[in-house]
Amino acid sequence: MARILIVDDSPTEMFRFKEILNKHGFDVLEATNGADGVTLAQAELPDLVLMDVVMPGVNGFQATRQIARGTETKHIPIIIVSTKDQDTDRVWGKRQGASDYLTKPIDENQLINVIKQYLSAG
């Protein structure tokens, strides 16, 4: 069973992601900010990370960069899921090491399809 780390400071979004992922049989790890997300990714080595961008302290771009460049964590696919939907945000997210970039509100089928695509590629 694949373990997915959700990094999001919004309780509403966290609940929605957990609901979708649990329904599709994934184990879920939670972090409510970027710094905790990086720490948890290093400690737990999840199969995939869903990363919000706008968070207090370490934002999603910074956390993505730390995970993507970490020796122990660089193999983990990171999907940024954000309300920021400008092309510049997408480009910047990919430059930080994100595998993909989805925008909120998230479409359940799209999210699951993208997750499966990266899990099967691993």
Distance in angstroms (rounded) separating the CA atoms of residues 11 and 92: 26
Average pLDDT over residues 4-15: 97
pLDDT at 1: 85
CATH for the stretch 3-117: 3.40.50.2300
Q: Would you give the end-to-end CA distance of the chain in angstroms?
A: 14
Tell me: the pLDDT tens digits for 70-88? 999 999 999 999 999 999 9
pTM value > 0.85: yes
pLDDT at 122: 55
Q: Could you tell me if 28 and 18 are in contact, meaning their C-beta atoms sit under 8 angstroms apart?
A: yes
Average pLDDT over residues 19-45: 98
- The domain limits of the chain are 3-117
Distance in angstroms (rounded) separating the CA atoms of residues 69 and 116: 23
Contacts of residue 95, Cβ cutoff 8 Å, sequence gap at least 6: none
